[in-house]
Amino acid sequence: MKSIELFLKELLSSPGISGYENPVCTLIQKQWEALADEIQISRVGSLHALRRASTPGEHPCVMIAAHMDAIGLMVKEIRDGLLWITQIGGVDPRVLPGQLVTVHGQKDYKGVVQMLPDRLVKDQPAGSAPVYPRLFVDTGLSTAEISKNISVGDVVSFATTPTTHGGKFISGHSLDNRASVAALTVCLEELRNYQLQWDLWAVATVQEERGAVGAFSSTFDLKPQVGIAVDVTFAQEPGLNTHETFPLGKGVTIGVGGNIHPALQQRFMEIAEEIDLPHSIETMPRSSGTDAMAIQITAAGVPTMVVGIPIRYMHTPLEMAALSDITRAGRLLARFITRLEPGSPDSLFNGGAA
């Protein structure tokens, strides 16, 4: 396999806005085909990759989900030769002015997000934070060219170039959640030569940013006995509470809370300590904000776990993660899979409540 850094840069260079994931899905499928026994696309567009257990017959199933969709923008109105925009997923408008973007019309067009000069806007104080009604994309195209090639409803993705920093960190758009797709790829690579006792479904889900659509539908389809969501979490930044954030490059997070089955949380803790893998406990008292929320309550319910990768500047066009944390997440997932024993999954849970 190519290095995870190179693959992640490809992921971060590919569009795949929530609801429009096909370009990045194609890229992931190409990478996973050599690591899986079977590949399929769900009815709503999620990517399913199966590693079968090594012995014939029926086996329990574990599903690991990492959403491949990203936040982005959409053309809401075309006026005065400019594209007025709205958000897909949670995009803070304060970070948008000056950002380079790609408008996906009849073909791809480069553009820049700009706003009306506050000194020329009569009904707002100078220095006010930008809001979507005042944000637009300038492509440099004429009105006639725009009319022919760009339509209301076309999506707009960030065009930030992925960059590595000191060989340790990587920045770019869509690390939420392409970092976790990369970690799941590391997991599949680690498992390449293992004889598995359970079936494993690696799933790149769609539309997590718009209601966990892929997680609901894939869980219903695949019917796993155990579900694991891999997603990003908040890394420490200046001015943030340390109990709500986690150090960048110092390991993964292991979730605990209502979305998390306590037996799974305990198992992941034991494995992390056994292999001396740096980790932190991430408390999730209300909900995890991940695909785990959907996995846990689909059909009759699924015992669920959440593994997190800290990133800085979440939901901006320039997020940052540590390459070591991505690799650690993949190794932790792989070690959990290799420790699953044949037979009933009940032995994992010791009768505890989900």
Kindly list the catalytic residues: 208
Are 17 and 69 contacting, i.e. CB atoms less than 8 angstroms apart? yes
Contact residues for 301 (Cβ-Cβ < 8 A; gap 6+): 354
Strand 135-138 with 82-88, pairing: antiparallel
Q: CB-side exposure of 78: number of CA atoms within 13 Å?
A: 18
Give the DSSP letter of residue 341: P
Element of type H or E holding 283: strand 279-284
Query: Which secondary structure element, helix H or strand E, spans residue 176, and what is its range?
Result: helix 175-190
Residue 194's contacts (CB-CB under 8 Å, 6 or more residues apart) are 334, 337, 338
Q: How many helices (H) and strands (E) does the chain have?
A: 8, 17
Decide if 204 contacts 66 (C-beta within 8 A).
Answer: yes
